Structure 1
Amino acid sequence: MNPDDDLARALAFAPPTDPYVVCWRDLDPTSTTEELERLADWVTWATTRYTLDHKVIPACWPHHGAIVEELSALRTFWESSYQPDAAPSEPLAFHRDLTLALRRLRDWTSLLGCTRTTHRPQAGS
C-alpha cells in the first residue's frame, strides 16, 4: 500500500451520515473484518490529523482489544459530534474526552510493549 495514498485518504476523510455504536463482542468474523477496515480508515485520518505516533496508537492496534474498543468509541463520538443536528458544543466535548482517551491509549500501549516495528502479543492471545 502506498503511504501517499493513505495520506490522501486520511486528509479527505469525512464522517458517514449515520454514526452507530459497534458492539465488537457480538460481531461475527466477517463483520469484525469489515468494521476493522472501517475503523482503520478513521484511525489513519485521526493519527494524521492529531499527529499521533506509535506510542499512542501502535501499528498493531487491531490486535489489541482494549485499543480497538477505545478507538471505536472515539470514532463513534467524533462521527456523532459532526452531524448536522449535533449541538455546537459537541466538537468541544469530543476534544475534552479525546484528551482522556489519549492518556488511556498511551498507558495501554506502554503496558503492551509494542514498538514501531514489533508487535508483542498479549498474554492469552
Structure 2
Amino acid sequence: MLYQPSGPPIPLLWAAHSPEEQRHYLDELDLWVTWVIDHYRLDRRYIPECWAKHWELIEELSALHLAWEAAYATTSHADAPLTWHERLGHARPRLAEWVARTGCRGTEHRSIA
C-alpha cells in the first residue's frame, strides 16, 4: 500500500549509501515501481522485471518517485499532480532508451560486462 507524503520529499543520492542501505531503499522503491507499472499499465519496454539490476533505471525511477512524492504531498500545489503526469510522459522515452541499451527483454535479463 502506498502512503500520502506529508511534506516535501528528500532526494536520495544512491552513491552516498552503503550496499545494505541501498538494498533497503531499493525495497521501498520496488513497492512504488510495482504500483506505477500496474496503475499506468506500463509494459516491460519501459520497466523490465530486472530494473533493479540496472543503475540507470534505478536512478531514473528514483527521480520519478521523488517527483511523484512531491506532487502528492499534502503540502503540494493543486496543479502538482499534472506536473507529475507531464514528467512521467517525458520520462517514458528515456526509460525505453535505457531499457534498449541494457539489452533486456520483458522478463529476460542480460548482464552487461
Please tell me the TM-score bracket, short chain as reference.
Answer: over 0.9
Structure 2-normalised TM-score? 0.92
Considering Cα pairs closer than 8 Å and 6+ residues apart, tell me whether 1 or 2 has the greater RCO.
2
Q: Is the 8 A contact 2:46 2:99 kept in 1?
A: yes
Which runs of 5 or more structure 1 residues have no equivalent in the other structure? 1-11
Question: Shift of residue 29 of structure 1?
Answer: 1.2
Q: Is the 8 A contact 2:51 2:58 kept in 1?
A: yes
Partner of 1:104: 94
Of residues 38, 44, 57, the one that matches 1:54 is 44
Question: Shift of residue 112 of structure 1?
Answer: 1.4
Question: Shift of residue 14 of structure 1?
Answer: 2.5
Which runs of 5 or more structure 2 residues have no equivalent in the other structure? none
In the aligned structure 2, how far is the partner of 1:16 from the partner of 1:119?
33
Q: Is the 8 A contact 1:56 1:102 kept in 2?
A: yes
Superposition map of 1:37-52 within 5 A: 37-52=27-42
Superposition map of 1:1-125 within 5 A: 12-18=1-7, 19-123=9-113
Partner of 1:4: none
Q: Is the 8 A contact 2:6 2:74 kept in 1?
A: no
Larger deviation, residues 13-22 vs 23-32: 13-22
In the aligned structure 2, how far is the partner of 1:109 from the partner of 1:34?
23
Give the total of aligned pairs.
112
Q: Is the 8 A contact 1:64 1:122 kept in 2?
A: no
Structure 1-normalised TM-score? 0.84
Partner of 1:3: none
Question: Shift of residue 53 of structure 1?
Answer: 1.1
